[in-house]
Amino acid sequence: MSTLNMSDSNVRERLDEKHEGDRERRVEGIKRWVEYIRNEPPSTWGPQQNAIVESQLTAARRVQTTASHQRHVADVAEAIRQEREDGDDRS
């Protein structure tokens, strides 16, 4: 059985690179969408946007998480936000 011998910092660097690539692709997608809605009438892109939003809402409803899980997610998000703010204050 073989194992990868990577230090935590190497793993972290690879994840950071992956996340940066993901971010860049999202930003490019947003720029393409903005260009599209600037060049097309709302009657063209409006129904498309509505379909996307509706599908996201439908998917969210199907997850059916418990109230305690939703609170946990909110608590974790708040802790992350607070940690980032604290880090920004130290910079």
The per-residue pLDDT for 9 is: 76
Ranges in the chain, pLDDT < 70? 1-7, 90-91
% pLDDT > 70, the chain: 90
pTM for the structure as a whole? 0.48
> Which tens digit of pLDDT belongs to each residue from 11-21?
888 888 888 89
- Yes or no: say if 63 and 72 are a contact pair by the CB < 8 Å rule: no
DSSP states of the chain as a string? -------HHHHHHHHHHHHHHHHHHHHHHHHHHHHHHHHS-HHHHHHHHHHHHHHHHHHHHHH---HHHHHHHHHHHHHHHHHHHHHHHH-
Residue with the two structure tokens 């600037």:
38
The per-residue pLDDT for 2 is: 43
